[in-house]
Amino acid sequence: MLTVLVTGATNGIGLQTAKVLARMGHSVIIHGRSQSKGNAALEAIRAFAPDNPQVRFVRADFASLTEVRRLAAEVGSLVPRLDVLVNNAGCANLTRTVSADGYEATFAINHLAPFLLTNLLLEKIRGTTPARIVNVASRAHRNQQIDFDDLMSTRSYRVMRVYGRTKLANILFTRALARRLAGTNVTANSLHPGLIATGIGQRSALGRLLWKLIVWIRGGISVEEGAATSIYLATSPEMSDASGGYYVRCEPAPLQTRPEAVSEEVAERLWKVSEELVGLPCTSS
């Protein structure tokens, strides 16, 4: 039995991922920012996996790094081991908003929060080996590059460009993390789940409606199909030694952006900038 933390698991593919993992018999911790939605998600999971009592909810708003730190401490004290971390939570705000720490919110929630959470939980994860870290990215990364001169999108804000850059950041983070974890029996991989009408963390009714319209026009997939790759990377024996990859439909996939946008140099620069932004001690690869 694995102990798994799935962030952003009160709806969409995060909830579906947690439901399937629970039915497989694993101990599952689900995360969300709403207690009421967390309670509803627990009921849904328990109905889907009635024979598994090992399902718990932890609350934190990823728009606050203070809450991310509290969440890491809570998870650390809640379980003696952590076999799998699925960084699934994310958003795509229609207009530029600012997090509790003064950072552009989409970048803060999609990249800085999982970056900090993963680093804070690394000691526990490393003590559990073999272990896995799964980062939900997106093909929205295609044709994007990190703008280090305007990480907070103060000069210009276009929702899908900003969202795509945060998904590129997820991929770069995964690759840099995999290099740091080489030889530890802990793997890190990223994935594109597919186009799904989940609202991707939209905090407004209008945003959720517009996203569902986009998905309908482009032909989206079900949450069951969308969660499949996260579950595969988290549990498949075939993935026991694979690390640093990007997957689509449970298969390795090429990155859809310029080579220089995903270079080791860019990944390391983003890592160091991220350490500074979240207040972690600077490390080397």
Of the pLDDT bands very low, low, confident and very high (cuts 50, 70, 90), residue 157 is very high
For residues 184 and 5, give the distance between their C-alpha atoms in angstroms, rounded to a whole number. 20
Q: Is the pLDDT of residue 216 over 50?
A: no
Structure tokens at 99: 């997090």
pTM: 0.91
For residues 207 and 201, give the distance between their C-alpha atoms in angstroms, rounded to a whole number. 9
Of the two residues 277 and 225, the one the predictor is more confident about is 277
Render pLDDT for 7-64 as a digit per residue (tens, 0 to 9). Answer: 999 999 999 999 999 999 999 999 999 999 999 999 999 999 999 999 999 999 999 9
Render pLDDT for 51-101 as a digit per residue (tens, 0 to 9). Answer: 999 999 999 999 999 999 999 999 999 999 999 999 999 999 999 999 999
CATH 3.40.50.720 correct for 3-278: yes
Render pLDDT for 93-140 as a digit per residue (tens, 0 to 9). Answer: 999 999 999 999 999 999 999 999 999 999 999 998 999 999 999 999
Q: Where are the domains of the chain?
A: 3-278
Active site residues: 163
Cα dihedral 86, 176, 242, 164, rounded to 10, equals: 60
pLDDT at res. 285 = 65
pLDDT at res. 199 = 52
